[in-house]
Amino acid sequence: MRSTRRAVDVADLVARAREGQVRAVARLISLVENSEPATLRTVAAALAPYTGHAQVVGLTGAPGVGKSTTTSAVVTALRAEGKRVGVLAVDPSSPFSGGALLGDRVRMQDHATDDGVFIRSLASRGQLGGLSAAVPQALRVLDTARCDVVLVETVGVGQAEVEIASLADTTVVLLAPGMGDGIQAAKAGILEIADVFVVNKADRDGAKQVSRDLKYMQSLGGRHSVAGAWRPPIVLTVASRGVTADSGVDHLVAAVAKHRDWLERTGELDRRRQARAAAEIEAIAVGEVRIRLGAVHGSAALGVAAARVVAGETDPYSAAAELVARL
Amino acid sequence: MRSTRRAVDVADLVARAREGQVRAVARLISLVENSEPATLRTVAAALAPYTGHAQVVGLTGAPGVGKSTTTSAVVTALRAEGKRVGVLAVDPSSPFSGGALLGDRVRMQDHATDDGVFIRSLASRGQLGGLSAAVPQALRVLDTARCDVVLVETVGVGQAEVEIASLADTTVVLLAPGMGDGIQAAKAGILEIADVFVVNKADRDGAKQVSRDLKYMQSLGGRHSVAGAWRPPIVLTVASRGVTADSGVDHLVAAVAKHRDWLERTGELDRRRQARAAAEIEAIAVGEVRIRLGAVHGSAALGVAAARVVAGETDPYSAAAELVARL
């Protein structure tokens, strides 16, 4: 009996993704999202030579600040410059896979027929509610597809905003007036992660106050006063207007480009990417060890060791050392 | 030049702890809390033969429900039965070490001169605000000191209550009327972890309502309707009265003893302890691997691998596999 499943020709998919074929890009992202480890490794190895070009831009903020609207307007502005753009929408809290999510994002559909734009959503499969381990690989797929900029949009809930900062070259934190928790959220660490602040819905009451509060908080910080340091600009936008003379979206795009220049000029881009790669390698290695230890399904060796600890025949440190030695 | 630090005679400390010498117990707990890995391993190995006797009882609940008062009353009741009792107060949110914490616990001082009671607090040193890795070892010290029951008191904030459930044979969840968040907290997972519920401050308005709400929530659960399953009892207490005919503390102590009987009769005690030991071994092993990978200080090998990933010369999965192979 022959298998009806055809082996995936990863090299062919990568070649077609390089040519910008949307279906190949979609297929590769599905592979990194859903594959068993062997396929995932094959894909990762095939993508490696083609990565490092795209600027990864994270956009995060509380629900309701207008992340999707802003993302869509930024895509429009980047397309007007002739740039190829990838969009990854990551929703760490959603148990649903991508399709349903993007179906709601009407504005994104403006770009659905543009073959210079690749849009994909990823549901979180990460442990502890974190971002999926597939996100960095999906970024590499979009990079391989010759995107100049990849926008990663996440809901700024819990640790997600910190995690996105660990994935992005440039992190954009969105706030909006009247959210109540705008500055509250800001206090909880976004000052540390933001490379660019956006006060969206700037036509509403309170936008200038949000901007003033941010400036005040920045003045308390101090780390930006070092010569040559990047001081995160605060851009006011009305993203719902799209790319117009008064929407501020062009200023946002300019701020993101300026940050990229700064990253390259100072060597910070390589530093960030190396730290990111080191963290990714470490997480994969630890995950590999965890699998080998049989943590996922409970290996016999771990069970035997645990029983010996319970019986007082050994202690957990000795048992752990024995297991590690056997790896 | 001779070192002025004397080597610790762990075997002697353990022998004296077995005899119930308070200073030896305190010294061993300090060792597991503050030692470098080599000493920690020596202590763990020396304790192993003497563990498994004590029933570990976790007490958790929101600030203000009366955990310290209840713990103290339970100690009094257990002492009246002639039991030896250990108390570990763990405060995951406190940056202060134990002394200061227990200094506030006036009620605990009732037991300060009782040589059948060992009281110790541990500050959290755990990552991500979690419980200290020293807690299981500190439990083993008190077990070694022939405690019949070890009470572990934690503030029910965030993940701490779930973590304590993973350490305890029996988990007691305390609620109180008028806390507002009593049932709210209950919704967030305590139904899953509680073996015994306590509604403390039962002389106050609303105590019966809290009890009714809990019963209703239990009725929705369903898992307790399986024949032979443990259905967590709800005990009403006024722990501030101490051990009196109407304080309910005796009922709480009886419920805890009944749970221990159930654990032993059903084999659940061994199952829980083996699962706990397996998780502990795994965490130690993964921590060991993480150290070997140089995560803490950033080894040259990891940095080189990261640079190769950034340069597109390899992918993170291949790099991780190489590092793991070298372990």
Same domain, B111 and B193: yes
Q: Note whether residue A237 is domain-resident.
A: yes
Q: Note whether residue B41 is domain-resident.
A: no
Same domain, B300 and B155: no
Residue A160 has a pLDDT of 57
Residue A221 has a pLDDT of 66
Same domain, A175 and A219: yes
Q: Which of B225, B249, B266 is the last residue of a domain?
A: B266
Report the residue of B289, B304, B313, B327 to disrupt the A interface, i.e. the one with the largest count of A CBs within 10 Å.
Answer: B289
Same domain, A260 and A298: no
What's the whole-number average pLDDT of chain B? 81
Per-residue pLDDT reduced to its tens digit, B92-111 = 444 333 333 343 344 566 67
Q: Which of A266, A281, A315 is the last residue of a domain?
A: A266
Alpha helices (H) along A170-230: 182-185, 191-193, 207-221
Q: Per-residue confidence of chain A (327 residues) as pLDDT tens digits?
A: 444 455 679 999 999 999 989 899 999 998 888 777 788 889 999 999 999 999 999 998 877 888 889 999 999 999 999 999 999 888 644 433 333 334 334 456 667 677 889 988 876 555 434 456 788 899 999 999 999 999 998 865 555 556 677 789 999 999 899 876 545 555 556 677 899 999 999 999 999 988 998 888 888 765 555 667 899 999 999 999 999 999 999 999 999 999 999 999 999 999 999 988 988 888 888 888 877 776 554 568 888 899 999 999 999 999 988 888 876
Same domain, A120 and A242: yes
Q: Note whether residue B219 is domain-resident.
A: yes
3-state DSSP call for residue B153? strand
Q: Note whether residue B22 is domain-resident.
A: no
Picking from A214, A178, A187, the residue whose alpha carbon sits closest to that of residue A198 is A214
Q: Note whether residue A213 is domain-resident.
A: yes
- Residue B310 in contact with partner chain A when CB distance is under 8 A: yes
Per-residue pLDDT reduced to its tens digit, B247-276 = 999 999 999 999 999 999 999 999 999 988
Q: Which of B44, B282, B290 sits opposite A302 (nearest CB)?
A: B282
Q: Other CB atoms closer than 10 Å to residue B246's CB: what's the count?
A: 11
A-chain CB neighbours of B309 within 8 Å are 48, 277, 280-281
Query: Which residue has better confidence, A128 or B54?
Result: B54
Same domain, A145 and A57: yes
Q: Which of A266, A284, A314 is the last residue of a domain?
A: A266
3-state DSSP call for residue B118? strand
Percent of chain B with pLDDT strictly greater than 90: 43
Percent of chain B with pLDDT strictly greater than 70: 78
C-alpha span between A278 and A263 (Å, rounded): 19
CATH classification at residue A151: 3.40.50.300
Same domain, B100 and B206: yes
C-alpha span between A155 and A62 (Å, rounded): 6
What is the pTM assigned to this prediction?
Answer: 0.67
Per-residue pLDDT reduced to its tens digit, A82-135 = 999 999 888 644 433 333 334 334 456 667 677 889 988 876 555 434 456 788
Sorted by sequence, the CB contacts under 8 Å of residue B139 that are 6+ apart come out as B54, B56, B86, B88, B150, B152, B167
Residue A103 has a pLDDT of 35
In 3-state terms chain A splits into helix, strand, coil percentages (rounded to 5) of: 55, 15, 30
Burial class (CB in 10 A: 0-12, 13-18, 19+), B188: middle
Burial class (CB in 10 A: 0-12, 13-18, 19+), A242: middle
Residue B3 has a pLDDT of 42
Instruction: Give me the mean pLDDT over the B104-121 stretch.
Output: 70
Residue A295 has a pLDDT of 57
Q: Note whether residue A285 is domain-resident.
A: no
Residue A251 has a pLDDT of 97
Give how many domains chain A has, as a whole number.
2
Q: Note whether residue B31 is domain-resident.
A: no
| Chain A residue with Cα closest to B37 | A317
Residue B8 distance to chain A (closest CA, Å): 19
Same domain, A102 and A214: yes
Report the residue of B282, B293, B296 to disrupt the A interface, i.e. the one with the largest count of A CBs within 10 Å.
Answer: B282
Residues spanned by the domain of A312: 293-326
Same domain, B262 and B306: no
Cβ separation B281–A309 shorter than 8 A:
yes
Residue A3 has a pLDDT of 42
Q: Is the pLDDT of residue B160 over 60?
A: no
Residue B98 has a pLDDT of 37
Q: Note whether residue B11 is domain-resident.
A: no
Query: Which residue has better confidence, A211 or B223?
Result: A211
Same domain, A262 and A306: no
Same domain, B236 and B298: no
Residue A281 has a pLDDT of 87
Instruction: Give me the mean pLDDT over the B37-63 stretch.
Output: 90
Report the residue of A14, A167, A317, A318 to disrupt the B interface, i.e. the one with the largest count of B CBs within 10 Å.
Answer: A317
Cβ separation A274–B311 shorter than 8 A:
no
Amino acid identity at A27 = R
Same domain, A256 and A315: no
Question: pLDDT grade, residue B58 (50/70/90)?
Answer: very high
